[in-house]
């Protein structure tokens, strides 16, 4: 719409009796015809990216951290936001006397770069709070972890923690573990890995799953502990995750599995409607 204004000035009357100035107004603010009518700018809903959702959840989880705590620092893209936030709060003095226990080389390097004092589980066997992500979360707050390859160290640290806060976006919520049809990791020793892969495939408690050795290019993926990972893929959720965990653990050569059962105290969930908590 074009709005035309007429300007008359005595000074320029001889030169210009009527000068026209044309203004083009932005669309949301264009005047509307009709007496007393008003048009408001349309509201815009901006969809947050998955990373932005993860960051919201991570920052909410860090609110559980208090000065003087020993913190278990998980591994993965979501937890990286939490580690960044802890470093930021320590730098501005809101958190003091924090010691972190990292669950992977990657988390160690990130926390070190941020100036977070670090220790091992040997040095700090009692952890006040662990913060980590998850690959799947069921309604009972049982989770699948380890798609990032750090499941053994994560489980060690999180079992030693007084409180375990898990941070996810709502895409990780499932009705039953295995329900995402993505990997449920099992860490195994390198020795006779084909033998153990076959035994995992044949377990009745894992019926319907497909076992695959995780690869890194054309070579087997190797964990921080120098082990291999077998990824289990399910077409249907596990009927009994406790029975599955027990059966896997009984196999010699199995280091640990990605079923974290009855371990999580709080899940911080970021979704399109904001951040919400689910507690036991």
Half-sphere exposure of 273 (CA within 13 A, CB side): 3
The whole-number average pLDDT for the span 158-175 is 96
Whether 15 shows a pLDDT value over 50: the answer reads no
Residues 176 and 278: beta-carbon distance below 8 Å: no
Question: What are phi and psi for residue 13, nearest 5 degrees?
Answer: -60, -40
Comparing 17-26, 98-107, 131-140, which segment has the lowest mean pLDDT? 17-26
pLDDT score for 46: 61
Whether 32 shows a pLDDT value over 90: the answer reads no
The whole-number average pLDDT for the span 138-145 is 98
What distance in Å separates the CA atoms of residue 20 and residue 4, rounded to the nearest whole number? Answer: 7
The whole-number average pLDDT for the span 230-242 is 97
| Known active-site residue 246 | no
pLDDT digits (tens, 9 = 90+) for 3-14: 444 443 444 444
Q: Residue 153: name the closest of 197, 183, 217, 108 by CA.
A: 108
Residue of higher predicted confidence among 11 and 256: 256
Q: Parallel, antiparallel, or unpaired for β 184-188 and 228-234?
A: antiparallel
What distance in Å separates the CA atoms of residue 138 and residue 136, rounded to the nearest whole number? Answer: 7
The whole-number average pLDDT for the span 15-27 is 42
Residue of higher predicted confidence among 224 and 44: 224
Identify the band that residue 105 occupies on the pLDDT scale cut at 50, 70 and 90.
Answer: very high
Q: Which of 123, 126, 154, 210 is catalytic?
A: 154
Residues 201 and 188: beta-carbon distance below 8 Å: no
% of the chain residues with pLDDT over 70: 84
pLDDT score for 42: 42
Residues 129 and 160: beta-carbon distance below 8 Å: no
Residue of higher predicted confidence among 280 and 201: 201
Q: Report the DSSP beta bridge partners of residue 219.
A: 216
The pTM is what? 0.82
């Amino acid at each position: 719409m074009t709005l035309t204004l007429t300007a008359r000035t005595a000074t320029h009357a001889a030169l210009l009796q009527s000068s026209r100035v044309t203004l083009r107004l932005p669309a949301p603010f264009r005047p509307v015809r009709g007496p007393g009518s008003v048009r408001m700018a349309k509201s815009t809903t901006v969809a947050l990216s998955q990373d932005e959702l993860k960051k919201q959840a991570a920052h909410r989880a860090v609110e559980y951290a208090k000065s003087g705590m020993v913190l278990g620092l998980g591994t993965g893209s979501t937890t990286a936001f939490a580690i960044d936030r802890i470093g930021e709060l320590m730098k501005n003095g809101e958190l003091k006397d924090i010691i972190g226990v990292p669950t992977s080389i990657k988390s160690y390097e990130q926390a070190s770069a941020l100036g977070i004092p670090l220790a091992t589980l040997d040095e700090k066997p009692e952890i006040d709070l662990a913060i980590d992500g998850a690959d799947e979360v069921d309604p009972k707050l049982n989770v699948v972890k380890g798609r990032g390859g750090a499941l053994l160290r994560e489980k060690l640290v999180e079992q030693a923690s007084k409180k375990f806060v898990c941070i996810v976006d709502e895409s990780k919520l499932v009705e039953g573990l295995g329900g995402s049809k993505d990997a449920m990791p099992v860490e195994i020793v390198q020795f006779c890995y084909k033998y153990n892969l076959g035994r995992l495939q044949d377990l009745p408690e894992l019926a319907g799953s497909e076992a695959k050795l995780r690869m890194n290019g054309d070579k087997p993926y190797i964990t921080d502990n120098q082990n291999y990972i077998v990824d289990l893929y399910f077409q249907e959720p596990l009927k009994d995750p406790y029975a599955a965990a027990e059966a896997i653990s009984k196999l010699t050569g199995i280091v640990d599995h990605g079923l974290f059962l009855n371990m999580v105290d709080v899940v911080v969930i970021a979704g399109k409607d904001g951040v919400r908590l689910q507690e036991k």
